[in-house]
Structure 1
Amino acid sequence: MVVQCSGDALLSKIRVIDVTGSTNSDMLGDPNAVEGDWLVARRQDAGRGRQGREWQSLDGNFFGSTLVQLKDSDPPSSSLSLIAGLALRDAIEVAAPHADTLLKWPNDLLLGGAKAAGILLERAGDRVVVGFGVNLAVAPDIEGRDTASFADVVQMAPQAFAPLLAGAFARLLAAWRSSGAAATAMAWLQRSHPIGTVLRVHDGDRQVREGYFAGIEDDGALRLKVGDTVETIHAGDVSVVDSPIQGKR
């Protein structure tokens, strides 16, 4: 099934299929895919999250990917993760305006403090595939991590959610190109865990650091205050230890 979706900036083509291994892999390997194309699967057999983790495929959840064709004039490509998070939260706000959602660095959307969605970006040359996994219907069991689904706040099929996400992503991608990464970072901060939140970070070397959230760089890197020093972290797993507004997570 193919659906045409008019976003604020471009026309998105959404292809919905029953099953595949990974929508990210399919999109990245399709030489005919162009910016604005979306692939949505009702089920994935080989879905994955960050650092090669398995992404569970549960009935009724959303699994979809889109493509960005990088241009020489674009802001830093690493800041595309901010665009993806903002688009996901905007789409959820349309579907469920009263849902208690929050963006968590680097690529999660929290519902009531528990993980309800994740994002995976993969790049090949000047093509970046942005993949989304959203617990629309069921929260998977993940050891050591609180999870949630949107089933209690909205009843929505993946194919109905796809146009909301595609439209939000198109609009924010255009804003990213016209306004730059700094404006994107500012918008992300307004929708994330607040400054001063205590975070525990497992970086790429598997070192663990705990400190205070001190914002993000324009390229999307995390600023973590540890003692009297503000460190810049470009990759890692983050858990919220304590929020000055909303308590522990």
Structure 2
Amino acid sequence: MSTNDNPHGHWPEGYARVVLDSVDSTMAEAARRAPDIERPTWIMAKTQTAARGRRGRPWVVPAGNLNATLIFRPEATAQEAAKRSFLAANALYQALAIYVPSDQLALKWPNDVLLSGRKVAGILLESSGQGPYVDWLSIGIGVNLRHTPEGVTDAGFPPTSLMAEGGWEVAAQDFLATLADAYATQEAKLLRLGFGRIREDWLSKAARLGEVITARTGREDVTGIFDSIDRDGNLVLITGTGPRAISAADVFF
């Protein structure tokens, strides 16, 4: 890409955008707005006061990093909606690869993006619904663009930022345009080609595929060769007792 090209994506047709100065969390704001949304909506906040990651863990968000949530109404069961984490991961990879060499990036199951082996982005999904299909799905995304969070001492993978690894400087709102464009492409791909293609794309960028890793489920640690993810998005490890499909865990290697 030449320096004269615009690296930021065009805002995708059919998606709305809300930019807030401050909010408790974009996920909480998405849930509050859920009854009234008419089309897929990205909610971005310049600062968050009560951000959270997976399993209720705090998510540190220095000013200048991306804090955003996409909320929409997919025609999907809860299990199908959960697969959107892989769409989001693929979109994040494509967006980040515009600003940093792609060979420095990798996707870590289930929902992190690594840059030079450190965590640069995380994904959090929430949904609501009583019937066969979810009423709404929100995809929360945090990306360390300018600043590496300080004081993170209990992470399996230490944080880093795009700038810390020599990436281009990019404003959060510009990066959101790149990401939103990439995510819309992933949704179109899912519609045309199915989850099998999303899965293949994700595996082609997966960290430590074919290597020994450990999945910590909360009940046990399972160590084995990272073989694949299955059609439901479960992690598949080849262990001493055979293949194991794991639906939820923290991964270490």
Please give the range of the TM-score, normalised by the shorter of the 2 chains: 0.7 to 0.9
Offset of residue 77 of structure 1: 1.9
- Out of 161, 181, 195, the position equivalent to 1:167 is 181
* 1:1-249 matched pairs, under 5 angstroms: 6-7=11-12, 10-30=13-33, 31-71=35-75, 76-98=80-102, 100-125=104-129, 126=134, 127-140=136-149, 141-145=151-155, 146-151=158-163, 152-203=166-217, 205-239=218-252, 241=253
Gaps of 5+ in 1: 242-249
Distance 2:139 2:103 in 1: 24
Distance 2:103 2:160 in 1: 12
Give the aligned CA root-mean-square deviation in angstroms. 2.0
Offset of residue 73 of structure 1: 9.1
Distance 1:173 1:35 in 2: 14
Normalized per residue, the structure richer in strand is 1
Q: What one-letter code is carried by the residue in structure 2 that aligns with 1:216? A: I
Distance 2:77 2:10 in 1: 26
Q: What one-letter code is carried by the residue in structure 2 that aligns with 1:135? A: N
Distance 1:81 1:41 in 2: 21
Distance 1:194 1:101 in 2: 12
Q: TM-score of the superposition, structure 2-length normalised? A: 0.86
Distance 2:38 2:86 in 1: 21
Offset of residue 34 of structure 1: 3.7
Give identity over the alignment, percent: 31
Offset of residue 75 of structure 1: 8.3
Runs of 4+ in 1 over 6 A off after TM superposition: none
Distance 2:103 2:144 in 1: 13
Q: Does the 8 Å contact 2:37/2:72 carry over to 1? A: no
Q: Does the 8 Å contact 1:5/1:14 carry over to 2? A: no
Distance 2:160 2:199 in 1: 26
Offset of residue 178 of structure 1: 2.1
Question: Taking structure 1 as reference, are residues 148 and 194 closer, same or farther at Cα in structure 2, changes over 3 Å only?
Answer: same
Question: Taking structure 1 as reference, are residues 72 and 23 closer, same or farther at Cα in structure 2, changes over 3 Å only?
Answer: closer
Q: TM-score of the superposition, structure 1-length normalised? A: 0.88
Distance 2:138 2:147 in 1: 25
Tell me the alpha carbon deviations over residues 63-87 of structure 1, each in whole angstroms, 9 at most, x when there is no partner.
Answer: 0000231215998222111001001
Tell me the alpha carbon deviations over residues 51-108 of structure 1, each in whole angstroms, 9 at most, x when there is no partner.
Answer: 0000012111100000231215998222111001001111111233456110000000
Offset of residue 12 of structure 1: 2.1
Question: Taking structure 1 as reference, are residues 95 and 51 closer, same or farther at Cα in structure 2, changes over 3 Å only?
Answer: same
**Secondary structure, in 3 states, of the residue corresponding to 2:186?**
helix
Aligned length: 234
Q: Does the 8 Å contact 1:62/1:132 carry over to 2? A: yes
Offset of residue 36 of structure 1: 2.4
Distance 2:76 2:159 in 1: 39
